[in-house]
């Protein structure tokens, strides 16, 4: 485990912002060298996977951790992993990964611009709470310049992670009130609560948008991807193996012993207050009722 993690732990102000707004921006999460390594890996996947008739369209390709060591390093990044355990606690792993490449589009030929949703699909139909439980989050590592709108930016409605429904027709054009684009520099990480209402957007600029998305959840949730990572586990330390999903079997998934969750042991040694806080479930405080929005209409 990289000791640099300790310098990037979630601050009280960051926790409050994430709990009330449903997202967090981590600037300079990637240095220039790491950004370049990831760009090279993403470009290689794009060249291999993009169909000849898919020019100008989004390529979203899952299960990428095994594609390049740079992606494994990203899952364990000292600038972002501490934010993840600060929000979700120590009983976590990475259950999902994908790269998005959005080339410039012909604006006149666009048949859609937005697709508003909450992540996790059936989870949102089958759970009965209001608001729904957090369960997971994902991080988008922006590798290209999205400092201006219309560059395929992720769109969000701040605070909407507390809404089970949103007032917006699903017509590919309309956006709910309060929506805004996330305008970020290359090397920025965007952490979003899975419940926040968000959408991809059209890229009508001249800059191809390239983002790596990593999802993290509790160990008792099933993986979203095939997660082709078992051959990588011997190369990692115990915490790295946990984050890539090692030990997800039998009762240890639900009632973990120390050997199942080495991150807990590492935190007990290096950041005891975080280990004890998350042990007692105090790291997931519910946001104040005053920021809750109206549930106006089902998408």
Q: What is the pLDDT of residue 278?
A: 52
CATH code assigned to 3-291? 2.60.120.620
Give average pLDDT by consecutive 10-residue segment, the chain, 299 residues: 93 97 98 98 97 85 98 98 97 97 85 89 92 96 97 96 93 94 98 96 94 97 94 96 90 91 95 75 40 36
Examine residue 96 and say whether the peptide bond preceding it is cis (omega within 30 degrees of 0).
Answer: no
String of DSSP letters for 29-58: -S-HHHHHHHHHHHHHHHHHH--GGGTTS-
Sign of the CA dihedral with 29 first, then 34, 39, and 42 last? negative
pTM (whole model) above 0.85: yes
Which pair of structure tokens corresponds to residue 12?
């009280």
Of 69, 75, 67, nearest to 45 by C-alpha is 67
Which pair of structure tokens corresponds to residue 130?
């209001």
Q: What is the pLDDT of residue 108?
A: 75
Integer Cα distance of 293 and 299 in angstroms? 15
Secondary structure (3-state) at 220: coil
Sign of the CA dihedral with 85 first, then 87, 90, and 91 last? negative
Of 112, 98, 111, 101, nearest to 55 by C-alpha is 101
Whether 102 and 208 have beta carbons less than 8 Å apart is answered as yes
Q: What is the pLDDT of residue 280?
A: 43
């Amino acid at each position: 485990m990289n000791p640099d993690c300790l310098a990037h732990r979630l601050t009280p102000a960051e926790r409050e912002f994430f709990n009330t707004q449903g997202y967090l921006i981590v600037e300079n999460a990637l240095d220039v060298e790491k950004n370049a390594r990831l760009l090279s890996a993403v470009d290689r996947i794009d060249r291999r996977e993009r169909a000849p008739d898919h020019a100008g369209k989004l390529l979203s390709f899952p299960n990428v951790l095994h594609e390049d060591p740079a992606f494994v390093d990203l899952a364990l990044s000292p600038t972002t992993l501490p934010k993840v355990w600060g929000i979700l606690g120590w009983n976590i792993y990475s259950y999902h990964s994908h790269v998005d490449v959005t080339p410039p589009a012909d604006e006149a030929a666009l048949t859609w611009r937005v697709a508003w949703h909450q992540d996790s699909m059936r989870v949102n139909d089958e759970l009965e709470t209001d608001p729904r439980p957090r369960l997971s989050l994902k991080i988008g590592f922006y590798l290209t310049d999205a400092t201006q709108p219309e560059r395929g930016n992720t769109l969000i409605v701040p605070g909407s992670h507390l809404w089970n429904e949103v007032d917006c027709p699903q017509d590919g054009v309309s956006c709910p009130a309060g929506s805004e684009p996330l305008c970020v520099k290359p090397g920025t990480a965007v952490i979003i609560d899975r419940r926040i209402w968000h959408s991809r957007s059209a890229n009508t600029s001249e800059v191809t948008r390239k983002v790596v998305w990593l999802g993290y959840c509790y160990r008792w949730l099933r993986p979203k991807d095939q997660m082709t990572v078992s051959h990588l586990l011997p190369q990692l330390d115990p915490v790295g193996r946990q984050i890539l999903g090692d030990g997800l079997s039998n009762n240890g998934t639900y009632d973990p012993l120390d050997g199942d969750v080495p991150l807990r042991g590492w935190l007990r040694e290096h950041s005891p207050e975080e280990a004890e806080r998350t042990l007692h479930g105090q790291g997931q405080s519910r946001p104040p009722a005053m920021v809750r929005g109206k549930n106006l209409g089902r998408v």
